[in-house]
Amino acid sequence: MEVRLIAAIGVLPAFAMLWYAERFERRVREPNPGWRYRILAASGFAALPIGLIEFQLAAWGRHASEPHKTLYEAFVVAAATEEILKFTCLWLLTRAGLRPGTRYGAFLYALHAAMGFAAVENVVALISAPDLAELTGLLLLRTYLAIPTHLFAGGIVGFFWAKRRFDGGGLRLPAGIALAILVHGAYNSMVSSVERLPKGMDLMLNAYALGAMAIPLVGVFVLHALAHHLVALDRADGR
């Protein structure tokens, strides 16, 4: 019971990252700022049916040999399923008057959709920890790696979505979703490879571990640059 109660703190990293992202919005006028939290909640609820879809997809590939099994689970079961369905949820909830009124508003909508899913996924993963020691290690691992990676992928989709809505360009959104799937799948495949590599492959294991740690770190700098770019465009338009 103690572990399950403490697992609830798994939502905090997601909200802390969103708070930081929202600091960039101080000079941008978004007409529906409160709506993004409804998107976050809807994405969180959507995590449950998305998880069931992933479970079924994983079952279809469980007899595949390596490395095909790892790549299938990373890129198809997790990355493609989650990124496409999270954006579908976002798209359905931002019709008519509820659509974002600024580029950075669209970017934030996507970040909230990503973090709603990540928060629920984080808590579910922490609840499964058998004891406090493993829960603490898992919380640190997911706080510094998994959640920032979700934010990175969501931000990529949000950036391309914002550019598509306000600046046109038919290929931008599909390209953004594809890039988010690539980032998300690369991270998942590296983490899974670290767990599944046979003994004696220390060099490759270290390379995958460093790669998994590098993706969210790079993502922080990329999202920072994208945020500044969108805010500058919005301010130039007088928004």
Per-residue pLDDT, 98: 64
Per-residue pLDDT, 150: 92
pLDDT at 173 over 90: no
Residue 33, C-beta contacts closer than 8 angstroms, at least 6 positions apart: 25, 105
Average the pLDDT over 1-25 and give the result: 65
Q: What is the pLDDT of residues 75-94, one digit of tens each?
A: 999 999 999 999 998 888 88
| Residue % of the chain over a pLDDT of 90 | 34
Per-residue pLDDT, 85: 92
List alpha helices for the chain, DSSP H: 2-6, 12-22, 35-60, 68-71, 81-93, 103-127, 132-141, 147-167, 172-196, 202-236
Per-residue pLDDT, 31: 54
pTM value? Answer: 0.89
Average the pLDDT over 91-111 and give the result: 82
Question: 165: pLDDT confidence band, cut at 50, 70 and 90?
Answer: confident
Question: 37: pLDDT confidence band, cut at 50, 70 and 90?
Answer: confident
Angle subtended at Cα 223 by Cα 164 and Cα 206, rounded to the nearest 5 degrees: 125
Burial status of residue 43 (CB atoms within 10 A of its CB: 0-12, 13-18, 19 or more): buried
Six-digit token pair at 124?
A: 């579910």
